[in-house]
Structure 1
Amino acid sequence: MKRLLFTFSFVFLASYGMAQETLSLGQCLKMGIERNLNLKTYEGNVLKGKHNISENRSRLLPQINIGAALNDNFDPPVSVTDGSAYGKPYNVTNTLQYNASASVQLQMPLYSQTARTALNIAKTLDVLNTLSYAKAKEDLIVQISKMYYLAQNTEEQIGIIKDNIKRLEELRDITQAFHDNDMALSVDVKRVNVNLENLSVQYDNAKAMLTQQYNMLKYVIDYPADKAIAVEKANIQQIDMAALTGLDENLSELQLLRTQQTLAEQQKKLAKDGYLPTVAISGNWTYTAFTDKFKNWFHSGESNHWYRSDGIGLSVRVPVFDGFEKRSKIRKAQVDIDNAKLAYENTMKGMQTQYANAVNDLANNQRNFSKQRDNYLLAEDVYKVTSDRYREGIASMTEVLQDEMSMSDAQNNYLTAHYNYQVSNLTLLKLTGQLDKLLKP
């Protein structure tokens, strides 16, 4: 029975381990781009913009309508005309009770500058939707990358804590042996146990934090919540640095602002186009029939004879005065143009400042990373020497624990410096338009 339970537990744990999928940063980014629910909203807006263009284009195309009508004038109207030709003052004509009609009508604008400008505005809005999607995609790449780097950092932290726990457990066993042989005080054993307990708490906190980070990462990339994932082990010794090519002026954010300025200019032109005349052509092909009794529709004769009426027309509309409505629209549009120019200039200067600061941060974080790595390696060597001396009975427990604490601080500082280095490099990748590098496997 015990063997059966052991076999079942082994198979369960093995299947759980196999179910966990290790994802690279490139895989997470591709999943996020394909599945992220918020990004899909932007995709829907892009598709909506395409339909909006078709809707505005239809206003420049012919409009054809077919109509039919049947009227029962149960109290028929009369027509009164001059009857002097008949020796009467008035000539009264009674209309028939029933009439029917069938028609085909055609309408088509020959010249409408407002409709053409509206179509151009729809195309500009489509460009805005596309750029908004591109910017949302860039922001998503940065968000996922930061989450991925943070999970890697936490994984490394957990690994270091486990190593420290292992070292302290060995130190505790040695100290306990010294105490059993009256070579160490009981307080020394307690000191080691206190440090072990602190490390155990750090380990539990780091594991809980890592679980939350993975849950958030799964949410952003729309990964099944009931499946386990893991990130690749971080290569702490190497970071692919961004090429310092200067601020990319074709970033989606800057293109968005330039396109918004174009849109404001088109809105102003649309208001001005309201002063221009519009020309349209219309035509109709109609058949009409009249009768005094409904049953006559089903018999041949004059009472249900269909009379054809065809025609074509040309209409011109010239706006003269609208109470200064168009003038107000033009002035409002000019304010939007000025604001769009200011927004672009302000954002451009802000991003240039961000780039300069990002370059400075990268250099500073690179120096800090290098120094913290050297400090970490030095702290490890110091702890190793002190630990060996303690085993030989030369160093005290206080010295060992102090060096162990210094080494732990150096380890945390090293990991923090590495994460800051990654984030500053990520910022430069975005500002220089090199985020696509992260998508490569």
Structure 2
Amino acid sequence: MKKILFTISLTFLAGYAMAQETMSLGRCLQMGIERNLNLKTYEGNVLKGKHNVSENRSRLLPQINIGAGLNDNFTPPVSVTDGRAYGKPYNVTKTLQYNSSASIQLQMPLYSQTALTALEISKTLDQLNTLSYSKAKEDLIVQISKMYYLAQNTEEQIGIIKDNIKRLEELRDITQAFHDNDMALSVDVKRVNVNLENLSVQYDNAKAMLIQQYNMLKYVIDYPAEQDIVVEKANVEQIDMAALTGLNENLYELQLLRKQQTLAEQQKKLAKDGYLPTLALTGNWTYTSFTDKMKNWFHSGESNHWYKSNGIGVSLRIPVFDGFEKRSKIRKAQVDIDNAKLAYENALKGMQTQYANAVNDLANNQRNFAKQRDNYLLAEDIYKVTSDRYREGIASMTEVLQDEMSMSDAQNNYLTAHFNYQVSNLTILKLTGQLDRLMK
């Protein structure tokens, strides 16, 4: 029975291991760009902007409408004219009770600067939507990369804790053997067990943290929540450093601000265009009939005769006075232009400062990473020496545990320095426009 249960457990574990998918950073980024729900909202805005351009373009095309009507004038209107030609002071004519009409109407702008500027504004808004999508995609790349690095860091931390637990278990067995032979005190065994328990708590906390990190990563890239993933093992000895090529002034944040300034200038132009005349082509084809009884429409004769009324022409509209409405719009638009210029200048200087600080952080984190690596290797060597001396009965348990604690601190500092180095390098990649390197 035990053999059967053991076989079932191995089969389950094998299936669990096969169900886990090892995800590279490039794969996570690609999946996030394709699936992220928030990014899809920006894609929808891009599509909406293109429809908006088509809508504004349609206002420059001919507009054709077909109309029809049927009226029952149960109190027919009358018209009064001079009737002296007929020997009467007035000639009163009563309209027939029923009339119907059918018409086709045409209207097409021949010149409308307002409509042309509105079309240009819609194109600018479409470009803003595209830039917003690109910026959101860039922010998503940074977000996924940080989460991926953090998961790698936690995986490394768990691996180190497991190695430390294994070493302490060996040390506990040695100490227990010493105690059984009256070569060590019982308090030494307790000290090792306390440290082992602390490491066990650290291990459980790290595992719980890793599960949360993976859950968040799966959410961002829209990966099935019921399936397990694992990141690739981090190469803590090497980081693909970004080239310090200076701040890229074509970052999407800056492009957005420049495009917003363009939009404000177009809004001002739109207000000015309101002073210009508009010219439109008009045309109509109308047929009308009248009768005194509804049934007469179904019989031949004058009562069901349709009378044509067709024509074509142009209409001119010249704005003269609007109560200074357009003047106020122009002044408001100028304020928007000035604010857009200030926002761009402020953002550019802020990013220049951010780049300078990022370069400084990268150099500092690089130094810290190198120092912490050397410190970690040194602490590991010291612990090995102290552990060997303890086995030989030369060093005390206190010395071993102190060196073990120092080594554990050095390991954590080393991993933290590596993560900080990765994040600062990621910041440089973003500010210099090199994030595409992460997709490879």
TM-score (norm 1): 0.99
Matched, 1:439 2:439: yes
| CA-CA distance at 1:334 after TM superposition | 0.4
CA distance in 2, matches of 1:78, 1:355: 83
Q: Within the alignment, does 1:381 sit opposite 2:381 as a pair? A: yes
1:194 maps to what in 2? 194
Write the deviation string for residues 182-201 of structure 1: whole angstroms up to 9, x where unpaired: 00111111110110010000
Partner of 2:50: 50
Structure 2: distance between partners of 1:95 and 1:340: 63
Aligned pairs for 1:19-418 (under 5 A) are: 19-418=19-418
Deviations 1:276-324 (A, max 9, x none): 1111111001111111111111111111011111011211111111111
Alignment partners' CA distance in 1, 2:132 and 2:89: 76
Equivalent AA in structure 2 for residue 378 of structure 1: L
Return the offset for 1:225. Answer: 0.6
Question: Could you tell me which amino acid in structure 1 is paired with residue 349 of structure 2?
Answer: K
Kindly provide the amino acid, as one letter, of the partner of residue 418 in structure 2: H
Say which SS state the counterpart of residue 60 (structure 1) adopts.
coil
Q: Which moved more, 1:79-88 or 1:198-207?
A: 79-88
Q: CA deviation at 1:69?
A: 0.9
Q: State the alpha-carbon separation in 2 of the partners of residues 100 and 134 from structure 1.
A: 57
How many angstroms apart in 2 are the aligned matches of 1:295 and 1:324?
Answer: 57
Distance 1:345 1:298 in 2: 77
Give the Cα separation in 1 of the matches to 2:417 and 2:289. 91
Give 2:120's aligned amino acid: N
Q: Distance in 2 between matches of 1:309 and 1:415?
A: 88
Q: Which amino acid aligns with 1:112?
A: S
Q: How far apart are the structure 2 equivalents of 1:316 and 1:186?
A: 106
Shift of 1:215: 0.5
Aligned residues: 440
Equivalent residue, structure 1, for 2:430:
430
1 CA distance for matches of 2:278 and 2:352? 47
Structure 2: how far apart are the matches of 1:164 and 1:301?
110
CA distances 1:113-153 after superposition (whole Å, capped 9, x unpaired) = 11100000000000000000000000000000000000000
d(CA) in 1 for partners of 2:10, 2:101: 85
Deviations 1:59-95 (A, max 9, x none): 1110000111111112211111111111111100111
Give SS of 2:88's match. Answer: coil
| Structure 1 unmatched runs, 5+ | none
Identify which range, 284-293 or 142-151, moves more after superposition: 284-293
RMSD: 0.7
- CA–CA separation in structure 1 for the residues paired with 2:410 and 2:115: 68
Q: Report Cα offsets for 1:160-210 as digits up to 9, x if no partner.
A: 000000000000000000011000111111110110010000000000000
Alpha-carbon distance in 2 for matches of 1:275, 1:287 = 38
Percent of matched pairs sharing the same residue: 89
The amino acid of 1:163's aligned partner reads D
Partner SS for 2:372: helix
Output the CA distance in 2 between the equivalents of 1:5 and 1:366: 51
Q: Which runs of 5+ in 2 are unaligned?
A: none
Shift of 1:4: 2.7
Tell me, in whole angstroms, the C-alpha distance in 2 between the residues paired with 1:5 and 1:298: 93
1:2 Cα shift? 3.1
1:209-252 CA-partner distances (Å, limit 9, x unpaired):
00000000001001111111100000011100001111111110
Q: For 1:360, what is the secondary structure of its paired residue?
A: helix
Deviation per CA, 1:383-423: give whole Å up to 9, x if none. Answer: 00000000000000010001000000000000000000000
Question: For 1:266, what is the secondary structure of its paired residue?
Answer: helix
The Cα shift of 1:9 comes to 2.0
Structure 2: distance between partners of 1:89 and 1:166: 124
1: CA distance, partners of 2:150 / 2:52: 42
Q: Give the whole-Å Cα distance in 2 for the aligned partners of 1:32 and 1:85.
A: 89
1: distance between equivalents of 2:147 and 2:338? 39
Q: Secondary structure at the match of 2:119?
A: helix
CA distance in 2, matches of 1:97, 1:429: 81
